[in-house]
Amino acid sequence: MGARCCKFSVCWWHSPLKPSLLQPSSDTEKDEKSALPIFKEFSLEELKAATAGFSTDNIVSEHGEKAPNVVYKGRLPDDCWIAVKRFTRAAWPDSHQFIEEARLVGKLRSERLANLIGFCSDGHERLLVAEFMPNDTLAKHLFHWESQPMKWAMRLRVALYLAQALECCSSNGRALYHDLNAYRVLFDQDCNPRLSCFGLMKNSRDGKSYSTNLAFTPPEYLRTGRVTQESVIYSFGTLMLDLLSGKHIPPSHALDLIRGKNFLMLMDSCLEGHFTNDDGTELMRLATRCLQYEARERPNTKSIVTALISLQKETEVPSRELMCISNEDANSSEPLLLTPMGEACLRIDLTAIHEILDKIGYKDDAGIANELSFQVWTDLMQETLNSKKQGDSAFRAKDFTNAIECYTQFIDGGTMVSPTVFARRCLSYLMTDKPQQALGDAMQAQVVSPEWSTAFYLQAATLFKLGMDTDAQESLKEATNLESKRNKK
């Protein structure tokens, strides 16, 4: 690793992960048509390792732990981020059917999709593996925004990219998309919208799969219980209403509301002054066509794409700029698979950190050069070692005030340098509510041992304690990267 720069006298280094998983390791085959790894079968053990044993901390599906089919974030050994969908046993009783469906969906490759890159079928376990999209869902940015609403130009881009994704699926024989909604639209590293590939998997050969709220369900599904290609167009129409209004409005209510009235009745008030009436009218007209009661009267995906292309605004502006998400913000959204030490630092759980430091002892001091004089076993040396021993006893007994005093005597002796002693005194300072002194010791531990993840973990804990959360998160990333790198050796 190269030289690091320093901030607040704390040293950071961060290499952002690419969005596409995107470069497989040197011994991994590549798809000739893209930078994605070849679609493959994963073992259950591989996916357990990638998701920290399917930890609840790694659940990213919107409905969380109670969802019938849960989605986890994960990281492969080559640092590729993945999304892993784990189905309930009842969803896919036939393993052969599951594998066949997964392989068919896996053949699709598009920059408009969060592509499927693998699967796992092991006993009763059924799992899908896809590209991980780090910048949340359309639902989050449209319905639950915090700083500012989604811009008009970005809403038009979302509509177009989504239509192009559906056209790609349709032209490749996968026209049926199940339960299309704002949670199925994800944003990649560059903040470009992509359609989740998970909706392309059906749970039965006859297409009986629709789990959304009945208020948004295509009329024909209520009559026949089946999803058709035209049903997908209806669902696309509901998403158009979402983009226009900034709310999830039932189609029947929306159409009743605007019947004989101006489309402005539906428009998101946050967009006032940011679009022309002609553009708003055309988008509403297109949504209305998609929401026709009779399926045969709805447009096909190709005509929808053509109509949306002509409406696009600010086409040269990157999506990240339209979304007002900087590179730094995008990088910070990348998930961390934290070790127990990382989780303890994130929670500022000092008791857990103490247990970990006590357990690992001095094993990480191995290889640290001690600059000793020729008078190695002088009385001064013996006295210094005794101070360290007494400090260790006090640290183990949680007598942190005494531990600080003894470790200080050892450090001030100057005959030996130990990053572990700095780490232990750092925690002792935290335990006695002296975070500034603790930060100094965490930095000193890093100076002595620049590649030691524990030094960065402790910097993170002290910075969280000082309320410097942004810097703490960077230190936590560095610690995680260092530990991951070390574990690969």
Q: How far apart are CA 221 and CA 230, in angstroms?
A: 10
215: left (phi over 0), alpha (psi -120 to 50) or beta: alpha
Please count the other Cβ atoms lying within 10 Å of the Cβ belonging to residue 176. Answer: 19
Contact at 8 Å (CB) between 444 and 11? Answer: no
3-state helix, strand, coil in the chain (%, to 5): 50, 10, 40
Q: For the purposes of burial, counting CB atoms within 10 Å of the CB of 298, is it exposed (0-12), middle (13-18) or buried (19 or more)?
A: buried
Which residue in the list 79, 136, 179, 433 is annotated as catalytic?
179
What are residue 41's DSSP bridge partners?
A: 119
Q: How far apart are CA 441 and CA 462, in angstroms?
A: 10
The DSSP symbol for 42 reads: P
Q: Is 122 a catalytic residue?
A: no
Q: Crossing angle of helices 453-465/469-488, nearest 10°?
A: 160
Contact at 8 Å (CB) between 181 and 99? Answer: no
Nearest residue to 122 via CA among 101, 104, 90, 98? 98
Residues annotated as catalytic are 179
